[in-house]
């Protein structure tokens, strides 16, 4: 059974069509990177899968079931959550989401305490359980927030830009951790990112969004001049050389962006390779 099915899905926000009649399937146990320029719909798509944004048309299913709020099959790591809980200790940060879709500090019973400890163990964060979030590095915070999203052993994990503000070394650590957890649990992952580079080597496929459309396939199938030019609605050049992938925008002044599977270091300037959506 597919982890996610979109059948002719249109998503609109504020009168704007974000995604237009998209159809695709993501397999169970698949690691998919979600990329695209600013406003392309990466976050909107994840929120639609969570049942938070209704489709204007079409059908979305998760493991054969219609999408709904609070679906225990889906774990979600949104952008920017850690800053709101900086004074909490690690275990409390994880426990705050023990009710899944509802954020808050619950009174934990024995089963819930065991679930929190299990989630901490899954990401190797037991040593962080008694430390305040404010004292942790960005990578350690993301480890706890990943544990939070794993409460209840979901079968689908949605990660919305978990690499923001991390240095390249920490980015690589987070990607390796997610890949390890994904393979250990046998679950599907949608991992939204600003840049492709850190995800190379972990991806099964990439889902690229742009211009209301989507392209899903391997890196070699999607990160091409014709596909990206169509999604951006502008000339995009993709150059492969010496094991690297350069995605270059149509503007002469725009710096090229290098995707490298070994170093996965983003360029300091935003390129045609990605953005928040």
Per-residue pLDDT tens digits for 15-55: 899 999 999 999 999 999 999 988 899 999 999 999 999 99
State residue 163's pLDDT score: 93
DSSP E strand boundaries for 14-72 = 16-27, 31-35, 57-62, 65-66
Asked if residue 181 lies in contact with residue 174, where contact means CB atoms within 8 angstroms, the answer is no
In a domain, 161, yes or no: yes
pLDDT at 262: 33
Residue 10 C-alpha from the chain's centroid? 20
Q: What is the pLDDT of residue 226?
A: 94
Query: Is 11 within a domain?
Result: no
The answer as to whether 5 is a domain residue is no
pLDDT at 265: 30
Taking all residues of the chain, what is their mean pLDDT, rounded to a whole number?
85
Domain membership of residue 271 (yes or no) is no
Q: Return d(Cα 88, Cα 130) in angstroms, integer.
A: 9
Helix, coil or strand: residue 224: coil
* Alpha carbon distance 210, 197 (integer Å): 18
Q: CA-CA distance, 42 to 49, in Å (whole number)?
A: 11
Structure-token pair, residue 151: 């409460």
The whole domain housing 116 covers: 29-53+68-259
Predicted confidence at residue 277, as pLDDT, reads: 52
Which helix (H) or strand (E) segment holds residue 216: the answer is strand 213-217
What is the per-residue pLDDT for 87?
Answer: 75
d(CA 120, CA 126): 5
Q: What is the CATH number of the domain that holds 166?
A: 3.40.50.300
- What residues of the chain score a pLDDT lower than 50? 82-83, 101-103, 251-276
Tokens encoding 32: 């998919």
Q: Are 8 and 57 in contact (CB under 8 A)?
A: yes
Nearest to 74 by CA among 4, 154, 153: 154
pLDDT at 107 (0 to 100): 63
In degrees rounded to 5, what are phi and psi of residue 28?
A: -60, 145
Question: Is 272 contained in some domain?
Answer: no
28 closest CA partner among 68, 70, 61, 71: 61
Q: What is the pLDDT of residue 188?
A: 98
Distance CA 100, CA 209 (A): 28
**∠ CA 79-82-18 to the nearest 5 degrees?**
10
Nearest to 210 by CA among 46, 58, 39: 39
pLDDT, one tens digit per residue, over 73-93 is: 999 999 865 445 567 888 888
- Domain count along the chain: 1
Whether residue 181 is contained in a domain is answered as yes
274 domain residue, yes or no: no
* 19 within a domain of the structure (yes/no): no
* Model confidence, pTM: 0.84
């Amino acid at each position: 059974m597919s982890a996610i099915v979109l059948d002719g899905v249109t998503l609109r926000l504020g009168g704007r069509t974000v995604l237009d009649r998209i159809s695709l399937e993501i397999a169970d146990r698949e690691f998919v990177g979600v990329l695209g320029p600013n406003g392309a719909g990466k976050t909107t798509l994840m929120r639609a899968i969570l049942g938070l944004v209704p489709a204007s048309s079409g059908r979305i299913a998760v493991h054969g079931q219609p999408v709904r709020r609070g679906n225990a099959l889906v774990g979600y790591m949104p952008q920017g959550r850690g800053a709101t809980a900086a004074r909490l200790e690690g275990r409390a940060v994880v426990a705050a989401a023990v009710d899944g879709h509802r954020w808050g500090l619950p009174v934990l019973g024995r089963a819930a305490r065991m679930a929190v400890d299990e989630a901490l163990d899954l990401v190797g964060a037991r040593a962080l359980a008694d430390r305040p979030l404010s004292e942790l590095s960005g990578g350690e915070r993301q480890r706890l927030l990943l544990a939070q999203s794993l409460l209840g052993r979901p079968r689908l994990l949605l990660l919305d830009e978990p690499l923001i503000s991390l240095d390249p070394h920490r980015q690589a650590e987070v990607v390796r951790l997610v890949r390890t957890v994904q393979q250990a649990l046998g679950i599907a992952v949608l991992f939204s990112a600003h840049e492709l580079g850190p995800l190379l080597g972990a991806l099964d496929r990439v889902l690229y969004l742009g211009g209301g459309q989507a392209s899903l396939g391997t890196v070699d199938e999607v990160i091409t001049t014709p596909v990206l030019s169509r999604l951006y609605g502008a000339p995009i050049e993709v150059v492969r050389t010496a094991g690297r992938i350069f995605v270059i925008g149509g503007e002469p002044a725009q710096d090229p962006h290098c995707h490298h599977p070994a170093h996965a270091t983003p360029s300091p300037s935003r390129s045609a390779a990605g953005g928040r959506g």
